[in-house]
Amino acid sequence: MIIKNGYILCNGIQKKDICIEGNTITDIGKNLRGSDTIDASKFLVMPGLVNTHTHLAMTLFRGYADDMPLQEWLRDYIWPKEMKLTPQDCYYGNLLGIIEMIKSGTTCFSDMYLREDQAVKAVKESGMRAVLSYGIADMGNKRRGEFMLRESLKFINAVKEPRIDIAFGPHSPYTCSSDFLLKIQEHALKLKKLTHIHLHETKEEIKKFEKKYGKTPIEMLESAGVLNSNVCAAHVVHVSGKELDILRKRNVKVLHCPASNLKLANGIAPVADMVKKGICVSLGTDGAASNNTQDLFAEMRLMALLQKVEDPGAMKADTAVKIATENGGTALNWKTGKIEKGFLADLIFIDLKKGFMVPRHNLASNVVYSMNSSAVNTVIIDGKFVMKNRKILTVDENEIIEKAREHAFDLVNR
């Protein structure tokens, strides 16, 4: 397949063709020839966005428990209802989130949640790409930890899908003992899998942890030998320069979730400082219960603006786009997020006729500061069209929305 004459977001903006063979970009240039051609002359063609931290089935909780602190939100509302989730709840919650992601330009995501077998099913049917992990925690109970680790290993061994990778998902240092985390890391490194964890999300979390252990969570993970290049740390909001140096030294990937951090009053992560130090920062939405969307374009704009509170040049548009695309691929160990030979053909077409994309003085700036996801016209994942002209081709959008609505109302009333 040849994508012809698109404005390509690749080392700046260039009007070029893209050749796709199978699921891979094999050539980029002018006047490329092929029997199957797609006219992209009215579109910006850019890498699909990569959402590196979400809890996708939580779309069913969208709007259910808003405007309260994190621990109250979890303890009094979310955790009690999560105990009542059924497989079908999670299946339709995942599909609802995937529809939202596709229509807002996300082509790959990383999920940590419950009943991830239903996420596997939803990803396979929708054509999406994903890294999935069961959220696990030993809560200081050795037998509980051993059981959860066995279940995670079973899940890893059971799932063999070309567009799905499986990671370990220890919830956080305050719900997982250091011994449990170290065992997880031993398995993760042996199996070459990622470890997806919440880290330094709130001041309260860090304060309680430090009082109990005499160290911050990052310091504890470092001293225990847990931190490594396979660790994907979500949030990392409250962090010292010394702790950032530890993350950089260990090549830990930071999964930044600005909207969720603001909505739960957790703070603003020092992303510009992380980037300066050479830390790989990528972008996530968190779950729809705490965001409340899965729209990564909205997240990208918010991220860039928040870093400019004191310095308008703290985060350039090109950097914001890289964080939402290429860095996400790097964090998740998928060769995606970049238009380059040998990379996966995960691409989105942005409609340049939309008023908010005019004029075209700087298309990267338009992408970050003025566009919204309604401009996403076409989505290709793994070399296949999953959306054309804003119509999803792989699943029945209307049926899924109706089923998800029914399951959501039933769930909160159980």
pLDDT surpassing 80 at residue 394: yes
Predicted pLDDT at 13? 83
Predicted pLDDT at 190? 98
Mean pLDDT, range 211-216, rounded to an integer = 97
Predicted pLDDT at 289? 95
pLDDT band at 348 (very low <50, low <70, confident <90, very high): very high
Is 64 in the same domain as 131? yes
The per-residue pLDDT for range 138-196, each reduced to its tens digit, is: 999 999 999 999 999 999 999 999 999 999 999 999 999 999 999 999 999 999 999 99
- Tell me, yes or no, whether 58 lies in a domain: yes
Q: Of 284, 304, 332, at which residue does a domain stop?
A: 332
Average per-residue pLDDT for the chain: 97
Structure tokens at 144: 């509980």
- Tell me, yes or no, whether 410 lies in a domain: no
Is 54 in the same domain as 201? yes
Cα→Cα distances 101→42, 97, 127, 287, Å? 23, 6, 12, 12
Is 138 in the same domain as 153? yes
Q: Where in the sequence is the domain holding 243, given as residue range(s)?
A: 49-332
Domain count across the chain: 2
**Percent of the chain whose predicted confidence (pLDDT) is above 70:** 100
Strands 129-136 and 106-113, bridge-based pairing: parallel
Cα–Cα distance between 227 and 132 in angstroms, integer? 20
- Tell me, yes or no, whether 365 lies in a domain: yes
Is 37 in the same domain as 92? no
Is 10 in the same domain as 121? no
- Tell me, yes or no, whether 209 lies in a domain: yes
**Percent of the chain whose predicted confidence (pLDDT) is above 90:** 96
- Tell me, yes or no, whether 132 lies in a domain: yes
The per-residue pLDDT for range 152-162, each reduced to its tens digit, is: 999 999 999 99
Cα–Cα distance between 147 and 54 in angstroms, integer? 24
Query: Can you give the pTM of this predicted structure?
Result: 0.97
> CATH number of the domain that 54 lies in?
3.20.20.140
Is 223 in the same domain as 348? no
Is 166 in the same domain as 210? yes
- Tell me, yes or no, whether 27 lies in a domain: yes
Would you say 217 and 173 are in contact if contact means Cβ atoms under 8 Å apart?
A: yes
Would you say 50 and 325 are in contact if contact means Cβ atoms under 8 Å apart?
A: yes
The per-residue pLDDT for range 241-289, each reduced to its tens digit, is: 999 999 999 999 999 999 999 999 999 999 999 999 999 999 999 999 9
> CATH number of the domain that 14 lies in?
2.30.40.10
Is 107 in the same domain as 232? yes
Rounded to 5, what percent of the chain is helix, strand, coil? 40, 25, 35
Q: Of 332, 352, 386, at which residue does a domain stop?
A: 332
- Tell me, yes or no, whether 405 lies in a domain: no
Is 129 in the same domain as 171? yes
Is 173 in the same domain as 54? yes
Predicted pLDDT at 71? 83
Is 34 in the same domain as 110? no
pLDDT surpassing 80 at residue 11: no
- Tell me, yes or no, whether 190 lies in a domain: yes
Predicted pLDDT at 9? 86
Is 376 in the same domain as 232? no
- Strand (E) or helix (H) holding 144: helix 142-158
